[in-house]
Structure 1
Amino acid sequence: MNLSAPLAWLVDHAGASPSPESFLAELGRRLLADGLPLAGGALTLAVPHPIIASRTWLWRAETGAVIEALDFPGSPPTKAGHDWLAGLGPVQADVAGRASNSPLLGWAWAGEFSPDEAERLRQVTRFAAAPLAALAAKAAQTALLEAYLGRRTAARVQAGGMHRGTGETIRAALLCTDLRDFTALSEVTEPAAMIAALDAWFDRVAGAVHAFGGEVLKFIGDGVLAIFPVTSPSAAEACDAGLRAIVAARAGMTHLDKTRQAQGLPPLPFGAALHFGEILWGNIGSADRLDFTAIGPAVNLVSRLEGLCRPLGRSVLISGAVAAETTTALVPLGEHTLRGIAAPCAVFTLPGD
């Protein structure tokens, strides 16, 4: 059986595509080279994700560029791709598989198309089912790992970094945050309401961390440990990103507390500490149950520094190591002894805290 060039590629090589967007771009390019007058293409995959129902990649024949659109629960899962294609010309879309959540592959014509051309695209969808199933499984695995582990750790696990005792040293600004009086609040609050409060708190902190290029390493009870890795010779950029994230999180919590007050609910006071140093982000645990954990003196210090927020009556404390790297105006609070830390720590806070 002689296969066309696009079908041969689907059989022999498409399964090795590094990502759905590269698959769509390469398939579209090959179909154009095979004489099909396409204006664009769209590929939709359902993903197991806390807030995303499906991801759609949109390819434009004129430029070869691929962009991504997200569908959220409650919206039609194919709407983004279909509407975009319809703006380019007549549309043909086929499910590349038999399951209800199978990948959806769609194309738009630059002009009129013949029954023969439509049949050729149906054959393409048929041959694309196997490699797309592999890509969908990989995308689902990536989404699950990133949701539970974060991007950095998920990438390491997928790359085979699952050996106990392995790790990497990271220079970063470390953010440690914790809700105040959480235990007392949980004793008098219904579990569902307590979970909703925790989710709202984590949304503000994690949202601020991610907005400024950081990564949440751990949710620990009602606390968060996050890092802003150094990506240039200077550590100032990482420290400044951590400071901006704290300001954003504090603004978000101020708004949340006003909303809770209007609902007759108590505020959610918190403490946050920022330090700069090296951590070992390592794979530890038992032989059959592993966890990625941040360890090292810098982690100990930022945790102890956060615990100083209540005695000092502050919501934000910043170490001298951060102050030495940033030009942001900080308010000195003197040197303080931290439990379990040998040397006194120079402590600062933000203006107005």
Structure 2
Amino acid sequence: MQLSPTLTWLVDEARDMPGADRLLAELGAHLVEDGLPLAGGALTLAVPHPLIARRTWLWRAGSGEVIEALGFAPAGPAAALKANPSDDAGRRWLAGIADGLVHEDIVGLRPDGPALGWIGPRQFTDRETNELRQAARFAAAPLAVLAARATLTAVLEAYLGRRSAARVLAAPLRRDVGETIQAALLYADLRGFTALSESHPPSVVISALGAWFDRIAGSVHAFGGEVLKFIGDGVLAIFPVVGETPRGACDAALRAVSAARVGMAHLDKERHRQGLPPLPFGVALHLGEMLWGNIGAADRLDFTAIGPAVNLVSRLEGLCRPLQKMVLVSGALAAETEAPLIALGTHVLRGIASPCAVFTLPENWPVP
């Protein structure tokens, strides 16, 4: 049996496409070259992500443009879609996919898995429908590859963060594989969390942790940082230095702390209205080098950051309570920023050989 150029491409090359958007666009272009009357196409993949339930790509035959729409969980499918389709055809696609409907001019949709469909300027003939369905069957293998790749990436990003996930995917899965990087480090944790855990039911404690992590991690991500670890009620995050000087990373870390402070203040007001105690916290910032990579047992690895800089920032955070400050900044980071920091003197940190110059932020320092 002689395969058409489109089916040959699906067998030999489609699995090497860099992403679902390119596969959809290339497949649509091949089908148009075969003489099929296509106005557009859509491809939907389920995503095991904490927030995103599925990703949909919409292709326009006229321009070759591909746009993306996200379906969010746990809201209902139709209500949860967020997109910016360029015309009514895009909206029609979104509504059809969200509701699991197959219109008379769409073939190949599978609401229970990867969904591939096409829309034409008119209803497809029986011959055209058969050709599109045959292409959908041959697309099953490359779609499975794309879905598996998307699943792996989404899971790693959810548990490791985007930068760390990319490093894990690119490097060998072996112990002691990593690199030394310079970064602004942030370490933060809640005050009185043990007492909160012992005096409230688990559901309340988990809700409080989620609210705290939303504010601190959200602020880190908003300013280009990445959370490396959730350690009990603590957070370790980094702002890698990019370029010749570390100032950008240091300023981003300071802005993230300021944003988290504002967010937690609003959260405490809401908790007060609910009759719940506030969630005081401490946070420390430091600039230094760290080893970023794989550690662990021979067959059980963790991707994390280790080194003197990590030790120092965690010890510095321990001074927040005795110094009665919410934010502490090391002298190393203070030297790389023009933020209006307040000097608190030099302090000995437990387990750290050299004393550390310590600074803090003004109470009302705004997010720039």
| Residue 62 (1) aligns with residue 65 (2) | no
**Cα offsets for 1:252-306 (capped at 9, x unmatched):** 1111111111110000000011111111013111122111221111111111111
Instruction: Give the Cα separation in 1 of the matches to 2:244 and 2:104.
Output: 52
Residues 281 and 293, structure 1, Cα contact 8 Å, conserved in 2: yes
| Residue 94 (1) aligns with residue 108 (2) | yes
Instruction: Give the Cα separation in 1 of the matches to 2:55 and 2:166.
Output: 19
Q: What's the counterpart of residue 178 of structure 2?
A: 167
| Residue 257 (1) aligns with residue 268 (2) | yes
TM-score normalized with structure 1 length: 0.92
1:225 pairs with one of 215, 236, 244: 236
Residues 169 and 281, structure 1, Cα contact 8 Å, conserved in 2: yes
Residues 342 and 362, structure 2, Cα contact 8 Å, conserved in 1: yes
Following TM superposition, by how much is the alpha carbon of 1:108 offset from its aligned partner in structure 2, in angstroms? 2.6
Q: What's the counterpart of residue 97 of structure 2?
A: none
One-letter code of the match for 2:322? P
Q: Structure 2: which 5+ runs fail to align?
A: 95-102
Instruction: Give the Cα separation in 2 of the matches to 1:83 and 1:209.
Output: 38
Q: What's the counterpart of residue 259 of structure 2?
A: 248
Instruction: Give the Cα separation in 2 of the matches to 1:327 and 1:67.
Output: 41
Q: What's the counterpart of residue 99 of structure 2?
A: none
Percent identity, please: 65
1:149 pairs with one of 148, 160, 166: 160
Instruction: Give the Cα separation in 2 of the matches to 1:234 and 1:29.
Output: 46
Q: What's the counterpart of residue 208 of structure 2?
A: 197
- Count of aligned positions: 350
Instruction: Give the Cα separation in 1 of the matches to 2:46 and 2:321.
Output: 45
| Residue 84 (1) aligns with residue 90 (2) | yes
| Residue 32 (1) aligns with residue 32 (2) | yes
Instruction: Give the Cα separation in 1 of the matches to 2:291 and 2:323.
Output: 29
- Where 2:77 maps in the other structure, the secondary structure is coil
Following TM superposition, by how much is the alpha carbon of 1:75 offset from its aligned partner in structure 2, in angstroms? 2.3
Quick one: structure 1 residues 59 and 49, their matched pair in 2 at CA, closer, same or farther if it must change by over 3 Å?
A: same
Q: Structure 1: which 5+ runs fail to align?
A: none
Instruction: Give the Cα separation in 1 of the matches to 2:105 and 2:229.
Output: 45
Residues 177 and 271, structure 1, Cα contact 8 Å, conserved in 2: yes
- Where 1:101 maps in the other structure, the secondary structure is coil
List 4+ stretches of structure 1 deviating above 4 A.
77-83, 87-91, 110-113
CA RMSD of superposed structures (Å): 2.3
Q: What's the counterpart of residue 10 of structure 1?
A: 10
Quick one: structure 1 residues 33 and 187, their matched pair in 2 at CA, closer, same or farther if it must change by over 3 Å?
A: same
- Where 1:95 maps in the other structure, the secondary structure is coil
Quick one: structure 1 residues 229 and 62, their matched pair in 2 at CA, closer, same or farther if it must change by over 3 Å?
A: farther
Instruction: Give the Cα separation in 2 of the matches to 1:7 and 1:79.
Output: 32
Residues 331 and 348, structure 1, Cα contact 8 Å, conserved in 2: yes
1:115-130 mapped onto 2 (5 Å cutoff)? 115-130=126-141
